[in-house]
Structure 1
Amino acid sequence: MINKRKTPPTLSPLIHEWNTARNTAKGWPQFLEGIVIRGMRGWDGESIQFRFPVVAIAGENGAGKSTVLKVAAAAYVAQQEGGLTFYPDDFFPNTPWETIEGVSLGYLIRRGESIDFTLLRKLTKRWRGMPDRFKRPVFFLDISRTQPINTLVGYGKIAKELNFPGDVTPFNEADRALLSRIMNKAYTASSMAKYGNKQVGVLTTQAGEYSNFHQGAGEDATADLVALLRLAPMHSLVIIDEVEASLHPRAQRRLMTELFSISKDRKIQFILSTHSATILEQLPTEARIYIQATRKGPKNIIYGVTPEFAMSLMDDVDHPELVLYCEDEEAQVLIDALISQEMPEIKNRVAVMPVGTASTVKTLGELGAKSKLPNPSLGILDGDQKETEGCILLPGNQAPEKEIFSAFDEPAWEKVATRLDVRIADLLEAIDDARQIDNHHAWARKVAERLGPRVRVGRVWEDIASVWAKEVVNPAERAAFIEAIFQRLI
C-alpha cells in the first residue's frame, strides 16, 4: 500500500530557505560540510557529509554515530571569551585499555563563499592543529542527559543540598511555550536549577510544581534541550546524541517540527543521532545518513536511506533470500506486479524495499554486488536511469509514472476502470487532468482525488500496475527483468 507520510509544516520553509539562501549572509554562512576520521575506533579515512541544516545519523550500537558527533563537536573553538570549547581529549582520552595515537580528524568548513579543510592530528602524545580551528558557538548534548537525576546514587542528599531559589534560572515565556508544544502539556511556569554538571528542571502545571526528581526521562531530557537552545545564538552548531531521548513518537514529531523552525529562524546547524524511524520520517532524503559497520574493512556510509531500510538494518529479524532495493513505493508496486505475473513462485522468497533516491539504490547495489550487505541483494532503478554495478532497470526508459501513463491505450484503461469499478469516461477525464501536473509523482494521487473519496490512491496505482504488468509491458522485456532477479536469487 502506498502511504505518503505527512511532513512537518515547518520543513518546507526550511527547505526553501536552504535552497535559496544556503551559504549567503542571509542563510548559513558558517557550516560544517563534512568530517573525515582516520585511525579512531574502526574508522579508516571514511568521510561523513552534512547536506542539510538538520541531519540525523542512524546505525546500530557501536557503528560510530557518537564518534561522528564528538568529532564534529571538536571542529571549532568558542566564539566568545568564556564560551565552551570542546577538545578531542574531552571525548577520546587515553585510558588503561586504549592509547589514542596515529589519529587524524579532518574538517571541511564553509565560511560564506570560502571552503577550508582543517586537520587535527595526534601522531603520538599531543594533538596538533588546535590553533588553526575557526571560531563558532558549539553546543553538545550527549547521552548522559537521558539519565534523570533521581537515578544517581545519593540523589536524595542532592535534593536537600540544592539552594532554592538562588540556584534557579526561570525559563522565559518563549522557552516555556516551546517546552509546552513539544511535550503537549500546559506548563504555567518552568525553570532550571544547577547542581554540579547536572541541570534540574523545575516545572509547574495546574497540578502543581515538580522537579526533575519526579519527572519522566523524556520530560527531563527535553527540558535540558530547551535550556540549551536558549543559549544558542545565530549560526551555532548544535549536536544532540539520541535526539529522541525517551520521547514517544508524537512528541518526537513535535520536537522535529520545532528544530526545523529554530534552524530556519536562527540559521542553526543541527547534527543528530537516532535509532528512531519516527525521527527519520520527518527528515528530507538528503538529511538521512546511515552508518553500517562491517566486521572487516571500512564502514559503509549510506545517504538518503528510507526509515524502513534503516530499521531493517538495525533489526534482528529473519531475512528473505533476496532483497530488491528500489527508489520508492511506486516502483515497489510495479516490481511486485511483474513478479506476480511472470514468476509468482518466487514472491515469498524476495523482499522489495524502497530505500530513497536513485543514488541510494546505486550505492546499495554496489555494496550488494561486493557482498557488503547483510543479505543477498539487487538494486532496481527506474527506467530513466543507467545500469550500474549491482543494479538492473525497470522495463521502459522513463520514470514509472511517465512510462505507464504514456504506454496505456484506451482498452488498457478500460481494464483499470473495471478493476476500480468506475466509468471509463470518468477515469480518462481524471487521467487527462492528472497529466497536466508537472510533478509526475502526483499523477496517481490526482486521479484518485478526481474519482472521489471511495477510491484510495494506493488502489489506483496497484490496479494500474497489475494491468501494466499483464497487458502492456513487452513480454520479452518482462521476462528478461524477472530472469535477472531469478539469477541473483539462485
Structure 2
Amino acid sequence: MSQYKSEIRESLISALEDRAAKGNYRKYLKRLTLKKVRGFIDREITFDFPVTALVGPNGGGKTTILGAAALIYKQVQPRRFFAKSGKYDSSMKDWSVEYELIDRDLNRRLPVPRTASFKKAKWNRTAVEREVLIFGVERTVPATERRELIKAAGSKFAAKKEVALTEGVAGHVALILGKSIEGFNRLFVDADGRVTLFSGRTPSGDEYSEFHFGAGEASVIRIIADVEAAPDGAMILIEEIENGLHPVATRRMIEYLIDVAARKALQVIFTTHSNDALAPLPPKAIWAAYNGEVLQGKLDITALRTITGQIDAKLAIFVEDKFAENMVTTALRIHGGMEIDAIKVHGMGGASSAIKVNEQHNLDPTSAFPSVCLLDGDQAESVNVDKGVFKLPGTMDPESHVFDRVLERIDQVSAKLAVSMLLPTGQQERVKAVVMSRALTNRDRHLIWEQIGEDLDFTAGYTVASAFLAIWAQEYPEEINEMVEQFQTLLPKR
C-alpha cells in the first residue's frame, strides 16, 4: 500500500516504453524465443523496456535468458554462458534460440531475424556486431582474492598508467553509494590495460587502493566507469546486481541504469533476487523464470518462492496488487477459524499475471498445495470458478470499494478511524472532514491514502490504508463471508 517513490520521472519511464515499442534504436534486442534451451521449450521473452530485470529462484533460468540474449552478438563467446565439456556433455543437442533484432546497419527499416542453434558439436550463429559489456558475479570478489592482481599487491608496485575518474563517473557513484569519491583513480596493472584496480583518497588526503575497498563499492565504481565509457547503443549484462549492495544502493543503481539507458540508448539486462532492484522499474521491464515458464510482470520475489514450492504453505492466493493483498489478509484474519500462517497471499502486478500464475500452479503436478486467484471487483468477466478464479467484493477496484464503504458509515466510524490511524479520539471530526473532502476532490482512488495522510499531519499512506481496511472488515462481515465462501473448502482449518 505504501509505495517506493523513485527519483526517475514517470514521463521518462513512459518515453522509454514508447521508444522500445516503436523500435527507435540503432541496435536493440526486441525479443528472443527459447525454442529449446535447458528447461525452456517455446518460451518467448520480449524486451519492452531498455532496462530488463530477470527474477526467479536459483536454477530457474535467469542466467539462461541472460546468456541467450548475449549469444547472438559476435563479441560474446558462446562458452561464456553455455560451455560444453566434450563427450561428457550432450545436453545441448538441438538447442535453438530465435531472435528479432533492430540493427540499422543491416536493415534501416525492418527488424532483423536471427537464429543461434547447437546441432552437434558447436553453436551455429548468424551473429551480428554490437558492443556487449558483461559484469559477472566475480566482480564482487575482493581484490585480495583476485589472482590477476597479485603483482599489484607488493610494496614496489607502480601502475603502468593512472587515470582519474571523470567528474561524471564520480558524480553517479556518489549518488549510489552516498559518499564522495573525489580524487579516485583507475590504475592499469598491465601494459595493455586489461587488468585494472582503483585507488581512493580519504577525507584527510590519505591514499588507499582497492585492496581496502568494500566489494560492493569497487563493483559500483567499475560498472559505472565502464558503462559511461561504452559506446551508445551497447548492451549491458549484469548478474545478480544486488551483490554487495545495501538495498538503498541497489535501488539507486537501477535508477542510474534507467537514466543512462535514456542518455546513451543502451540496453541493460540484469538478474536479481532482490525486490529492491525491481522497485524503480515498470511491470513491462520484469520477467520471471521458473519451472520452464516465463512470466512478464512485477512479481514479488516472495511470491516466486511460494509458486516454486520453496515456502511451506497449504493454500496460495494470487491477487492483482499490494492493496488487494492486504485486503485479503485483513479479511481472512477478521473471518478467523483458519491457519493464517499456512495461507500465502501475493500481489502479482496485474490481473493477467495473477490468472496465469494461478493456472500454471494448479496444473503443475509437483505443486504440494492448491491456489486460487482473487481478481478486483471490476474483473467479473474474468471469473472462472472451475479454474479457481474468483473476485473480491464490490464492482470496482478494491481501493474504491473500501473507501466508499467506509465513507457510507463515516458518521458512525470516524472515532474508530482516528484511533486506527494513531490519532487521538478528539480528532474524529477532523478525520471525518478530511475524508469527506477527499471524497470530492480525489481523482484517483489509488492515491487517496497518501492524500488523506498528507491532510492529517503527514500520516503514512500505509497507516491510512490499513485503518480503512480494518474498519471495512469490521463493519461489513457479510462481504468477507461472501468472499471466503468462494473457496471455503480449500482453506486450512485451525
TM-score (norm 1): 0.85
- After TM superposition, give the deviation of residue 381 of structure 1 in Å: 1.0
**Structure-2 separation of matches of 1:102 and 1:70:** 17
For residue 332 of structure 1, give the secondary structure of its aligned residue in structure 2: helix
CA contact (8 A) 1:427 1:447 kept: no
Match of residue 117 from structure 2: 121
**Structure-2 separation of matches of 1:173 and 1:88:** 36
1:373-392 alignment runs, 5 A limit: 375-385=369-379, 386-388=382-384, 389-392=387-390
- After TM superposition, give the deviation of residue 361 of structure 1 in Å: 1.0
Match of residue 86 from structure 1: 76
Spell out, residue by residue over 1:4-26, the C-alpha distance to the aligned partner (whole angstroms, 9 max, x if none).
2232x12535303214544558x
1:320 partnered with 2:308? no
Match of residue 52 from structure 1: 49
1:100-111 alignment runs, 5 A limit: 100-110=92-102
1:431 partner letter: M
Spell out, residue by residue over 1:71-124, the C-alpha distance to the aligned partner (whole angstroms, 9 max, x if none).
2112234xxxxxxx1132443232143133311111122458633432111211
CA contact (8 A) 2:406 2:468 kept: no
1:448 to 427, 433, 453: 453
**Structure-2 separation of matches of 1:161 and 1:450:** 63
- After TM superposition, give the deviation of residue 302 of structure 1 in Å: 5.1
1:207-222 alignment runs, 5 A limit: 207-222=205-220
2:461 to 457, 463, 472: 457
For residue 218 of structure 2, give the secondary structure of its aligned residue in structure 1: helix
Match of residue 280 from structure 1: 278
Spell out, residue by residue over 1:236-279, the C-alpha distance to the aligned partner (whole angstroms, 9 max, x if none).
21111111231222322332222121112112111001122321
Q: 1:348 to 1:67 in 2, by over 3 A?
A: closer
Spell out, residue by residue over 1:378-433, the C-alpha distance to the aligned partner (whole angstroms, 9 max, x if none).
221111112243321002221112334445564x1223312123445752553343
Match of residue 432 from structure 2: 427
1:120 partner letter: A
**Structure-1 separation of matches of 2:434 and 2:480:** 29
1:104 partner letter: S
CA contact (8 A) 2:148 2:195 kept: no
For residue 282 of structure 1, give the secondary structure of its aligned residue in structure 2: coil
**Structure-1 separation of matches of 2:490 and 2:149:** 59
Q: 1:375 to 1:109 in 2, by over 3 A?
A: farther
CA contact (8 A) 1:192 1:201 kept: yes
Q: 1:442 to 1:215 in 2, by over 3 A?
A: same
2:489 to 484, 487, 490: 487
1:5 partner letter: Y
Match of residue 81 from structure 1: none
- After TM superposition, give the deviation of residue 446 of structure 1 in Å: 1.9
CA contact (8 A) 2:315 2:343 kept: yes
- After TM superposition, give the deviation of residue 204 of structure 1 in Å: 3.0
For residue 273 of structure 1, give the secondary structure of its aligned residue in structure 2: strand
Match of residue 188 from structure 2: 193
1:105 partner letter: V
Match of residue 15 from structure 1: 13
**Structure-1 separation of matches of 2:206 and 2:334:** 64
Q: 1:39 to 1:199 in 2, by over 3 A?
A: farther
**Structure-2 separation of matches of 1:169 and 1:456:** 47
Q: 1:222 to 1:194 in 2, by over 3 A?
A: farther
Q: 1:194 to 1:442 in 2, by over 3 A?
A: same
**Structure-1 separation of matches of 2:56 and 2:155:** 40
Match of residue 472 from structure 2: 468
**Structure-2 separation of matches of 1:423 and 1:150:** 62
1:148 partnered with 2:146? no
1:430 partner letter: V
2:289 partner letter: I
Match of residue 423 from structure 2: none
CA contact (8 A) 1:33 1:109 kept: yes
How many aligned positions are there? 469
Match of residue 290 from structure 2: 292
1:288-437 alignment runs, 5 A limit: 288-293=286-291, 298-301=292-295, 303-310=297-304, 317=311, 319-371=312-364, 375-385=369-379, 386-388=382-384, 389-407=387-405, 410=408, 412-421=409-418, 422-424=427-429, 426-437=431-442
Match of residue 60 from structure 2: 63
Spell out, residue by residue over 1:35-55, the C-alpha distance to the aligned partner (whole angstroms, 9 max, x if none).
222443323232222222212
CA contact (8 A) 2:306 2:316 kept: no
For residue 283 of structure 1, give the secondary structure of its aligned residue in structure 2: coil
**Structure-2 separation of matches of 1:172 and 1:429:** 51
Structure 2: 5+ residue stretches without partners: 419-426
CA contact (8 A) 1:382 1:399 kept: yes
CA contact (8 A) 1:168 1:194 kept: no
Match of residue 424 from structure 2: none
**Structure-1 separation of matches of 2:431 and 2:123:** 71
1:232 partner letter: A
**Structure-2 separation of matches of 1:429 and 1:210:** 57
Spell out, residue by residue over 1:176-231, the C-alpha distance to the aligned partner (whole angstroms, 9 max, x if none).
33233323332223214244854322333334222233322112222221232132
- After TM superposition, give the deviation of residue 315 of structure 1 in Å: 9.6
For residue 123 of structure 2, give the secondary structure of its aligned residue in structure 1: coil
Q: 1:189 to 1:350 in 2, by over 3 A?
A: closer
Q: 1:28 to 1:64 in 2, by over 3 A?
A: same
CA contact (8 A) 1:444 1:461 kept: yes
Spell out, residue by residue over 1:438-474, the C-alpha distance to the aligned partner (whole angstroms, 9 max, x if none).
3220123222333444x5433433343344344447x
CA contact (8 A) 1:202 1:212 kept: yes
Q: 1:350 to 1:62 in 2, by over 3 A?
A: closer
Match of residue 98 from structure 1: 89
**Structure-2 separation of matches of 1:162 and 1:39:** 53
Q: 1:113 to 1:429 in 2, by over 3 A?
A: farther
2:176 partner letter: I
1:262 partnered with 2:260? yes
Spell out, residue by residue over 1:337-368, the C-alpha distance to the aligned partner (whole angstroms, 9 max, x if none).
43344444453442322232222211221122
Structure 1: 5+ residue stretches without partners: 78-84
Q: 1:235 to 1:484 in 2, by over 3 A?
A: same
